[in-house]
Structure 1
Amino acid sequence: MRKRVAVIGGGIAGLAAAVRLRDRAPQDTQIIVYEGSGALGGKLRTGELAGGMVERGAESFLTGAPDGTESAAVRLARRVGLGAELVHPGGIPAALALHGRLEPVPAGTLMGVPGDLGLLGAAARPAVGADPDEGRPLLGPGADVAVGALVRARYGDEVADHLVDPMLGGVYAGRADELSLATTMPALADAARKQHTLSGAVRAAQAAAVRVPGRPIFSTVAGGLSRLVAAAADASGAEFRLGLPVRELSRAGRGWRLVSGPVPAPQVDEVDAVVLAVPARPAARLLATSVPAAADPVGVLDYASVALVALALPPDTVLPELSGFLVPPTEGTLVKAATFVTRKWGHLRRDGGPVIVRASLGRAGEQDRLQRDDADLIAVAHTELGRLLGTALPPPVATWLQRWGGGLPQYAPGHLDRVAAARAALPPGLALAGAAFDGVGIPACVAGGETAAEDVWKSLEDR
C-alpha cells in the first residue's frame, strides 16, 4: 500500500529529511512538506545588495566532520548536484574587538578556550595559578556544565569574557555562562571527563579531531545557499504546502492526523509517519496532546533574537586585512560580530564594486535593544562598526536589515538529556529534527533531518 509521510517544517533539516525519505522509500511514496511561512529554507536565505549577493542568514557550513569525513552539508550538496559549486573563504584571519583595538584571535583555542595559556597574548590574561591538576577529571561521567562556569573556574574571568563569550556569541548569540558545554562543545566535554586540567582537555579534544590536509574549514554554494534549498526541494520530489502551519497533531490508528490551515477552513490529512522539524515551542505545542512526555522537555528551550545588517560601502573604503571580527559583550555594543564579506569570499568581489560588510546585532536577553525601526538599527550598526574599527565608515550606498526573532536556540546545561528524554517518549513513526535538538550548524541540521527520516522509515518497514 502506498505510504504517506509528512515533514512538518521546510527548513534545511526538514528538506534533508525529505531528500533522505525519497532515497529510502519506494517511488510511489508521497512525501508532504508543510511550511508555515511562505518560503522554504528557514534561516538559509540569500539576498541581493547593490547588485551583488549577500546571505540574509547562515553564510557557510563546516566542510568536514569530526571523524575526518565530509560534513553532512557537503554530502547533501553533492547529492543534489551542487558538489562542483562549493566555494571556500580565503585564508584571512579574524580578530577580536577589545578596548578600542582589533586584537588577533589567539592560536590554539577551541571555540575561544585556550589549550596553551602561554599563547594568549594581549587578548586576555589567565588568573593567577590557573588550571591546577587536582587529581581527578574535570567532569564526572555524563555530567554537563555551563561553558562559562568551567572556564571561569579554571582560567578566570578575562578568558571567559574576552575569548569564549565572543566566540560562542558569534555562533549562538548566547552567553558562555548559560550555554551547555556538552551541546556546544561535545568533544571538549568528552575530554573533560577524562582530563584533569582544562588545557589538557582542550589539547586532547583537538588531537582527537581528524583533520584532512588541504581541506578548507568552511564552504558555501556559489550563488548563495538558497540554491541548496531549491536543489534539495527539487531532489525530494515532495509536495510542498506553504503558508499552511500545522495546528494539530494526533494519533489516527497506526498513523497520524494533521490539521493545518486557518481555523474557519481547516485542512485535514492522515499520514503514516511524521518528521517534526520545527522550533522547540511549536514542536511542544504539537506534541502536548499526543505525546505530552515529549512536549515537556522540548518546550523549555529558550531562544535569542538577532538582526543582520548589510552595508554596501564605496569601492575605495579601506578595511583592515581581516575576514571580520568578534565583539565581547564587555564592549557594550549592540554589534556582536562583523564579516568583511567581499574580502572573506573572493567569489563575491567585483572590480569597481562596493565593499560589503555584514554585521550581526543582538545577544540572548537583549531583545529590547533590537526594538527599533530598521533605519535606526542600520544607523546604530554603521556607527558602532566605525567605532570598533577605530575610524568612521563612509555613508553606505545601499543597505538592508534582516530580523530573526527568536532565531537561535540557547542550549542550557542538560539539553542533551532533555532531548534524549523527549525522543525516548516518541512512539514509532514520529521523529524530531532541527536546530532545537541537534545543533545550530547546517551540518548538524542536515544530519538530524536524515536520521529522523531513517527512523520513521524503519518504523514503517518494521510495521
Structure 2
Amino acid sequence: MDGTRRHVVVVGGGISGLAAAWHIGNGDHGGDDVRVTVLDGAPQVGGKLRVSQIAGLPVDEGAEAMIARRPEGRELARMAGLGDDLVHPAKIPASVLSRGALRPLPAGQVMGVPSDLAALARSGVLSPAGLARVPLDLVLPATLITSDVSVAAYIRARVGGEVVERLVEPLLGGVYAGRADLLSLDATLPHIATAARTERSLLRAARAIAAEAPAGAGPVFTTVRGGMGRLPEAVASSSGAEVRTGVMARELSRTPQGWRLVAGPAPDPETIEADAVVVALPAPAAARLLSAEVPKAAAELSRVEYASMAIVTLAYPWQAFPEPPSGSGYLVPPVEGRPVKAVTFSSAKWPHLAEADPGVFVLRCSIGRLGEEFILQRDDDELVALAMAEMAEITGVRGLPLESRVTRWGGALPQYDVGHLDRVARVRAAVAVQPGLAVCGAAYDGVGIPACVSTARTAATAVLAHLRELGGRHEDHAASR
C-alpha cells in the first residue's frame, strides 16, 4: 500500500459507488491525499443506468430520469460536466388505465392519495361506490399509528380499497415494482406517515401536503440529453478514481492497518489493501461481502427482498399511429390484470427525442412486479409481442415497430417492506463501529438517483472523517518520536 497516500476502495460501480468515489476524491482531505479505486464485477459501470441506440436514437434501458426538486442528482451531473445537458419533460399529463380506459391522474393527488374530491370525481378512476367511500375519511375516528404499517393498511382504512388498488398501487409500482400491502408507510410515503400520526383526516393531510408544493418550483423530473446512462461514465471520468470493471470483490476482512479485499476469479485471486472501504452493492451482494466482519449488518441486508422487471422499448414510425399518443404515458393498476404495468410515451414526454428524429416515435413498456416473476420467464420475442399487443389496443398503432429492445433487470428494485427504516438503522449501527467502513446505495434511503447520491455523499463524509483521524494519529506518532 502506498505509504504517502491513503487508499479507499469502493465496491460497486453503480451511480451510488461512483458518486461516493467522486465525493471522496474531490472532498475535504481528498484529492492528492487519497487514491480511490472502484471495483465492479460488470463489464461496464453504471449499474441500472445504461443507454443504447434504438432506431438510431439514444434511449435509456434503465432509469430515464431523476427527481429535479431534490438537488443531489442535478449537482452531481453539473460537477461531472453535464450541467448544460440537463433537460426537462414536456408539460403534458400522465394517465392511469382504470376500469378498461385511460383516465387522467387526479389533480392534487399525493402519490395516489387524493386531496381534491372534485378532481377525483372528474377523473373517473374510481367506481361510484369507490368514490363514495373516500369522503368518509372526514368523519371517521382517527386511525391510530404507533409503529410502521403497510401503505395499504393505513390508506385503505382512511379512504377505501379502490384508492389503494387504482391509484396508490400503480404509482408505488412505478417506483418499487412492489405491493402496497407489503411496502412500509414510513419508508415509502414519509409525508403521509408523519400526517398519519398527527392528523385525523388523510384527505386534509393530503391537501396540506399538496399546498406545500412551492409555486413555480419548476419541473418535477429532469434527465440528461442523450440519456441518463451518460451520467455514470461522466462521474467516473471526473472522479479521479481508478475504475476497474470485470473485477468482482469476493471477500472483505479487517487488518491491523485497515482492510483487505480479495477480488477476481477464485483460481487467480487478487489481494487489495485499503485504509477504508465503501460497499455500494445491492443488499444481497453487500450481505455476502460483509458476512465475515459485520454479521449483524449482513443478516439484516440478506432479508431485503428485490423485485425483477423488464423494459420493452419499441420504436414506430409516426405514421403508424392513427393519431399521436397523448400525454406522457400511463400506469396500470395490478387489479386490471395486465402484464404491462407502465408505459412511457418517450417521444412525447421528452422533446429532445422528438427533435432528434421527428419521424420516429419511441415508447417504453415496463413489465413485471413483485410476485409476477413468471411473466419474465417468457423469451424476448414473447415480451415484445405482449408490449405490441398492449400498444395496438391502447393507441391503435398498426404494423410492426422499426426496432424493438428488451432489457431485463433481475433483482433490480429493493422492497422497502414494513420495518425497513429500523432495519437500515440496525445496518448502519453495525457498520459504524467498524473504522473506515461505510455503505451506500438504493437499499437504504430511496431508490431514485438523488437518494442514492445522498447515501453516497454520507458514506464519503464518514470515510473522509476516518482518514482525517488516521492523519491525526500519524502526526501525533511522528511528533512523539
Normalising to structure 1: TM-score of the pair? 0.95
Residue in structure 2 matched with residue 258 of structure 1 by the alignment: 261
- Aligned residue among 438, 454, 461 for 1:447: 454
Any conservation in 2 of the 1:315–1:353 contact (CA below 8 Å)? yes
Residue 188 of structure 1 corresponds to 192
Aligned: 1:115 with 2:132: no
CA deviation profile, 1:58-111 (whole Å, cap 9, x unmatched): 00011112xxxxx20001111111111110000010111122211010111111
Alignment of 1:172-321 (within 5 A): 172-209=176-213, 211=214, 213-316=216-319, 317=321, 318-321=323-326
Question: Are the counterparts in 2 of residues 249 and 256 from structure 1 also a CA contact under 8 Å?
Answer: yes
Distance 1:168 1:361 in 2: 14
Partner of 2:77: 77
Measure how far apart 1:27 and its partner are: 1.2
Cα offsets for 1:228-287 (capped at 9, x unmatched): 111100111111121111100111114111011010100111101111100000111111
Amino acid corresponding to residue 240 of structure 1 in structure 2: V
Change in Cα spacing, 1:186 to 1:54, as seen in structure 2 (3 Å) is same
Find the residue that maps to 1:384 and give its secondary structure.
helix
Equivalent residue for 1:358, pick from 364, 370, 377: 364
Alpha carbons of structure 1 residues 282 and 163: separation in structure 2 relative to 1, 3 Å: same
The residue that corresponds to 2:473 in the other structure is none
Q: Structure 1 residues 127 and 246 mapped into 2: Cα distance closer, same or farther (>3 Å)?
A: farther
Deviation at 1:146, TM superposition (A): 0.9
Distance 1:276 1:212 in 2: 39
Does the aligned pair in 1 maintain the 2:414–2:447 contact within 8 Å?
Answer: yes
Using the TM superposition, name which of 23-32 and 10-19 deviates more: 23-32
- The one-letter amino acid of 1:3's match is R
Q: What secondary structure sits across from 1:131 in the alignment?
A: helix
Identify the residue that residue 474 of structure 2 maps to in structure 1: none
2:375 to 363, 369, 376: 369
Which residue in 2 is equivalent to 1:8? 11
Segments of 5+ residues of structure 1 without an aligned counterpart are: 66-70
CA contact (8 A) 1:340 1:356 kept: yes
What corresponds to 2:169 in structure 1?
165
Instruction: Give the residue type in structure 1 aligned to 2:287.
Output: A
Alpha-carbon shift at residue 430 of structure 1 (Å): 0.9
In the TM superposition, residue 353 of structure 1 has moved relative to its aligned partner by: 2.2
CA displacement 1:366-413 (0-9 Å, x = unmatched): 111110111111011111232244x35431111110000011111101
Evaluate the alpha carbon distance shift between residue 329 and residue 393 of structure 1 in structure 2; reply closer, same or farther with a 3 A threshold: farther
Query: Matched residues in 2 for 1:436 and 1:342: separation?
Result: 31
Aligned mates of 2:179, 2:132 — CA distance in 1: 20
* Aligned residues of 1:280 and 1:299 also touching (Cα < 8 A): yes
Contact 1:138 1:198 in 2 (8 A): no
CA distance in 2, matches of 1:412, 1:255: 34
2: CA distance, partners of 1:452 / 1:419: 14
> Over alpha carbons, which structure has the higher Rg?
2
TM-score by length of 2: 0.91
**1:285 and 1:295 in contact (8 A); partners too:** yes
**Retained in 1: the 8 A contact 2:99–2:125?**
no
Could you tell me which residue of structure 2 aligns to residue 461 of structure 1? 468
In structure 2, stretches of 5+ residues that fail to align are: 471-481
Deviations, residues 330-361 of structure 1 (Å, cap 9, x unaligned): 11111000011111100011455211111000
Q: Secondary structure at the match of 2:444?
A: helix
Between Structure 1 and Structure 2, the one with more helix by share is 2
Give me the whole-angstrom Cα distance separating, in 2, the residues matched to 1:73 and 1:440: 12
Range 379-388 or range 421-430, more displaced: 379-388
Aligned equivalents of 1:188 and 1:48: distance in 2?
40
Q: Distance in 2 between matches of 1:107 and 1:304?
A: 29
Matched, 1:437 2:440: no
Counterpart residue type for residue 243 of structure 2 = F
Distance 1:95 1:29, change over 3 A: same
| Secondary structure of the corresponding residue to residue 32 of structure 2 | coil
CA contact (8 A) 1:100 1:387 kept: no
1:31-180, aligned counterparts within 5 Å? Answer: 31-65=36-70, 71-121=71-121, 122-124=124-126, 125-126=130-131, 128=133, 130-132=136-138, 136=142, 138-140=144-146, 143-180=147-184
Provide the C-alpha distance between the structure 2 equivalents of 1:55 and 1:273, rounded to a whole number of angstroms.
33
Distance 1:86 1:352 in 2: 21
Instruction: Give how far 1:114 is off.
Output: 1.1
